[in-house]
Amino acid sequence: MPITVHEGDTITSSTFVVEEHIFINCKLKNCRLYYSGGTFEWQNTSFENCAWGFRDAAGNTLRLAMLIGMLKPGQAPTPNITRATSASKMN
């Protein structure tokens, strides 16, 4: 799968599959991001009012964690879409 690198960008109202993009020093606003459990890379990137979708392995992991009580209702995002309003920083 091809990887697109975004560096120093402010991106608004776009949709991404997380595993297909690298974000470095970016700000994403009002975006939809879908994560399936694969490798990703973010560096100094913030997410403001983004909707998150968890599919495949990522969604299954969330469902299992809720089923066995590792995550309590309201603690975990819903397996399909959840809102993220705080900034995230990962390396």
Lowest-confidence region among 6-15, 28-37, 77-86 = 77-86
Residues 31, 49 contacting (CB under 8 angstroms): no
Distances (CA, A) of 87 to 1, 61, 90: 27, 23, 10
Is-above-0.85 flag for pTM?
no
Residues 28, 47 contacting (CB under 8 angstroms): yes
Model confidence over 15-41: pLDDT tens digits? 999 999 999 999 999 999 999 999 999
| Torsion, Cα of 42, 44, 50, 56 (10° steps) | 20
